[in-house]
Amino acid sequence: MSHDFLKTLDSSFARGFYSVDPSDLKEYGKDWTKVYEPKPLAICFPQSTDEVSKLMKLCTAARVAVVPSGGRTGLAGGAVAANNEIVVSLIKMRKMGEINTLSHSMWCEAGAVTEAVHEHAQSVGLTWPIDFASKGSSTVGGNIATNAGGVKVIRYGLTRNWVLGLTVVLMSGEVLRLNGSLEKNNTGIDLRQMFIGTEGILGIVTECILKLAPLPRESDVFFFALGDLPAVFKLFEVARRSGFTLNAYECLSDECLGVVTAHRGLASPFPVHRPQYVLCEVERPESEDARAKLEAWLGSLFESGLVQDAVLAQSPKEAANLWAMREGISESLAHAGLLHKHDISLPIARLQEFIETWTHDLTQNYSGLNPYIFGHIGDGNLHVNLMKPADMDAAEFRKLCTKVDQNMFGWIQKFEGSVSAEHGIGLLKKHLLGYTRTPAEIVLMKQMKQVFDPQGLLNPGKIL
Ligand SMILES: Cc1cc2nc3c(=O)[nH]c(=O)nc-3n(C[C@H](O)[C@H](O)[C@H](O)COP(=O)(O)OP(=O)(O)OC[C@H]3O[C@@H](n4cnc5c(N)ncnc54)[C@H](O)[C@@H]3O)c2cc1C
């Protein structure tokens, strides 16, 4: 069957349309999670919506499963192909159209790299404000399929807010062109939204019309050292009332700062260790004495005793160095040892209570396990991690983590949080879906999947 399907591809597309080279199968069959053994049948590289449509019709006729693939930076196994699937990689669909400076929008193909879109929009003073550490590899299609968040959500919201129109190919090969470049279109169910954040299980996004924002003015970056966890939330409240526009409000524990400075060979900005740190980026006020205003605010924070120490970056280079301490955490933790990690969200008002409850449980019952907590406080999104202690056996560590998780997910449910804030469900978190979604919701999701993909061939086994 597999061999027959490759013959069908040979007779339907030009040479080079697909690859069965073992290194491609290995590379394109996995994502950043790296925990699943890739085993795709072939990797296809369509160059247009029409080619994707033709391919999908052939796959449906032959009942061959398909996995949509972008930059493969996903952290939930959503782009993994481990069961003889056809991987549809959009890396040859990266065209970007002219920017419309009247409507602040642009057309692009879904394989366009996020950072390339930023650079393109920047040339006319605009931006697509979806920003995170993997932007140099992730694609617009992947960002849309995961409704990506990142470090600027506090100011701009999620990807969903920045998509006007979508072209989507269904498993049947049918092409839907949804919403064009309309800002307003109140004509029933907004089908476009079904494909945002559903990890490629309903259709393949091939083209998009993105909504752009004015490039923010220059920004200023503060790095604060704080005496305890409540100060992180108090400072957030104060920063929101400061009158400055917040671009980011990110927290990291002393353990996280230690790991990232060691791995990247960076010096901590502070001579004395403090339990918590916050990186706060604000848009520079539009006034001649902007700098004086920022410094006066900083002075008032010291005076009130809210911050123990702080730096205000004196140059873009210094600001980038401070950002490196925050953005380098994931990668540095991954290098430091065996990690057990979660990307969760809570109502902002209950974040502190959740962190205190979770860390208390660890101290009382699992004192050998050290937590590493960082995240996007402004969005209620925490990255919680446990690292295997050097003297603990890996199997024992995993067993303990499962026990810790049982309590943690119980509290997430109780505090009305989510088991996945921005990375998605994919394969990795399927077993956790029920903590956040009710049985009735899951039944409805399955029914929707049935409508768009009755044979269950598109990204099978993901989410549901
Ligand atoms: C260092 C690092 C930092 C990160 N930080 C963040 C962060 O701050 N915030 C955040 O939200 N994410 C973050 N991520 C996760 C990841 O970068 C995002 O989820 C990103 O949006 C994935 O894009 P991608 O193109 O790599 O998608 P892929 O990994 O290729 O795919 C992701 C999912 O989308 C589907 N898909 C891909 N393309 C399409 C398409 N055209 N049509 C339909 N479905 C498609 C895939 O099947 C899969 O289910 C981070 C990842 C790394 C490695």
DSSP state of 85: P
pTM, rounded to two decimals = 0.94
Q: Whose CA is nearest to atom 20 of ligand 1?
A: 143
Ligand 1 in contact with 204 (CB < 6 A)? yes
Looking at the CA of residue 139, tell me the nearest atom of ligand 1: 25
Q: Is 35 exposed, middle or buried (0-12, 13-18, 19+ CB in 10 A)?
A: exposed
User: Measured between alpha carbons, how far is 443 from 58 in angstroms, rounded to an integer?
Assistant: 29
Mean pLDDT of 11-23: 98
Ligand 1 in contact with 150 (CB < 6 A)? yes
> Token digits for 319?
């600001």
Q: Whose CA is nearest to atom 17 of ligand 1?
A: 73
Q: Reply yes or no on whether the pLDDT at 3 is more than 90.
A: no
Mean pLDDT of 96-116: 98
Ligand 1 in contact with 132 (CB < 6 A)? yes
Q: How many CA atoms lie within 13 A of 358 on its CB side?
A: 31
CB neighbourhood size of 324 (10 A):
15
SS3 220: strand
Ligand 1 in contact with 135 (CB < 6 A)? no
DSSP for 118-132 reads: HHHHHTTTEE-----
**286 contacts 217 by C-beta, under 8 angstroms:** yes
Ligand 1 in contact with 200 (CB < 6 A)? yes
Ligand 1 in contact with 110 (CB < 6 A)? yes
| Candidate from 105-109, 132-136, 304-308 with smallest mean pLDDT | 132-136
Ligand 1 in contact with 142 (CB < 6 A)? yes
Query: From the CA of 143, how far away is ligand 1's center (Å)?
Result: 5
Nearest Cα neighbor of 388 from 399, 374, 375, 377 is: 399
Res 132: pLDDT: 87
Q: Whose CA is nearest to atom 41 of ligand 1?
A: 141
322-375 pLDDT, tens per residue? 999 999 998 999 899 999 999 999 999 999 999 999 999 999 999 889 899 999
Mean pLDDT of 167-179: 98
Query: From the CA of 114, how far away is ligand 1's center (Å)?
Result: 10
Res 1: pLDDT: 58
Return the percentage of the chain with pLDDT > 90, whole number: 95
CB neighbourhood size of 227 (10 A):
15
264-321 pLDDT, tens per residue? 999 999 999 999 999 999 999 888 899 999 999 999 999 999 999 999 999 999 999 9
Mean pLDDT of 180-207: 98
Res 150: pLDDT: 85
Ligand 1 in contact with 166 (CB < 6 A)? no
Which residue has better confidence, 34 or 241?
241
Domains of the chain: 2-89 (3.30.43.10), 96-214 (3.30.465.10), 219-330 (3.30.70.2190), 337-423 (3.30.70.2740)
pLDDT tier at 21, thresholds 50, 70, 90: very high
Query: From the CA of 343, how far away is ligand 1's center (Å)?
Result: 14
User: Measured between alpha carbons, how far is 146 from 157 in angstroms, rounded to an integer?
Assistant: 14
- Position 377: which residue type? I
Q: Whose CA is nearest to atom 2 of ligand 1?
A: 134
Ligand 1 in contact with 199 (CB < 6 A)? yes
Q: 197: left (phi > 0), else alpha (psi -120 to 50), else beta? A: left
